Structure 1
Amino acid sequence: MLERWNPLAELDRMVDEMNRLAEALTARPRSAVRLATRPATDVYETEDAVVIKLAAPGAKPEDLEVTIEQGTVTIRGRFGYSLSEDEAKKATWYRREIGAGQFAETITLPRPVDADKAEATVADGIVTLVFPKAETARVKRITIQSRAN
């Protein structure tokens, strides 16, 4: 039996497939999915600096590299952990959710900064980069004086 092609029915089927795919992706915690590809990143500004924080569990200073060029910061590194070969051979996994891998993040800074005075630290799985604002980017208050006529 021949069936006539119905484009609306086909569109309806595609929407159902997309919904099923979206449900499958949200079944896992989104943070775990994101961490598998790159660390979560916060960028904010204080009165004196631009601050970048990355969640990179297990990262050590020797695992990280930070460069800045023309107002763009690039952070490369490794995060997570790995078992030694002996441990891996003896391990029977029941659950494995801690992400591990390499990442490279490029962030355009919202203000000019003084790269020579930048600080980078890593503690408790959080990489913190502090870029003091360049003198030209800081807010300056100008006092208004009264002028007698």
Structure 2
Amino acid sequence: MSISRFLHEFRPLFRMLDEPLRGAPTLYSFPHRSFLADPFLPSPTTVHPALDLTEEGDNYVVEAELPGVKKENIDISVGDGGRSVTIQGRTSSRPSRSGDISGSTTESSTTQGEGAGTGAVVSSSETPSNQLTTERLYSGTSSFTRTVWLPRSVDSSKITAKLTDGVLTLRAPKMEDKESIKINVD
């Protein structure tokens, strides 16, 4: 066993021991955790998306900025009798290679002279790769959870959600308050 392979296995340990002395590298453009940070606070890979809550007539409108998040990776739930809306999601900056491995076929035809055509089928297949180790400090995946507390209950069966250009828009109609009675003043 070569010494370089042996030291390669200890690279994360060396990086961890060196970080408090010189700080985390800033060239990776991601938030980093201080050496003395509270370990019970969310990790730097936890995203806290910007969120706006507005009231439009009989609806509450929640707008959350979720750039790079696909609609398949978003979960929305209503709880506490319609008083809270929770938005959960996850992102990954690494492209999935499942579509590349399956192999694709393309057809091309060329015509020559009197219209005689030839068709060529080209298929490409890649062997799946196994990642043995990683050199990056940041894996490219993150998750988020945001809960919005609403002033009044909403009708959860009529909530609509739409993701457009990285902005999630929820429209939640207010629940009719059957217990309150309007009293006229004489």
- Report how far residue 72 of structure 1 moved: 1.2
Secondary structure of the corresponding residue to residue 135 of structure 1: coil
The question of 1:64 aligning with 2:74 is answered yes
Runs of 4+, deviation exceeding 2 Å: 32-37, 79-86, 140-144
Give aligned-pair identity as a percent. Answer: 34
Name the residue aligned to 2:163: 122
- Report how far residue 59 of structure 1 moved: 1.4
Give 1 or 2 for the bigger CA radius of gyration: 2
C-alpha contact (below 8 Å) 1:43/1:51 kept by paired residues: yes
Deviation readout 1:63-103 (Å, 9 max, x if unpaired): 000011111111100246334689xxxxxxxxxxxx96210
The question of 1:105 aligning with 2:146 is answered yes
Change (3 A) 1:141 1:110: same
The two structures have a TM-score, normalised by structure 2, of: 0.45
Structure with greater helix percent: 1
Secondary structure of the corresponding residue to residue 136 of structure 1: coil
Tell me, in whole angstroms, the C-alpha distance in 2 between the residues paired with 1:81 and 1:141.
54
- Report how far residue 56 of structure 1 moved: 0.5
Matched residue count: 103
C-alpha contact (below 8 Å) 2:46/2:144 kept by paired residues: no
The two structures have a TM-score, normalised by structure 1, of: 0.55
Structure with greater strand percent: 2
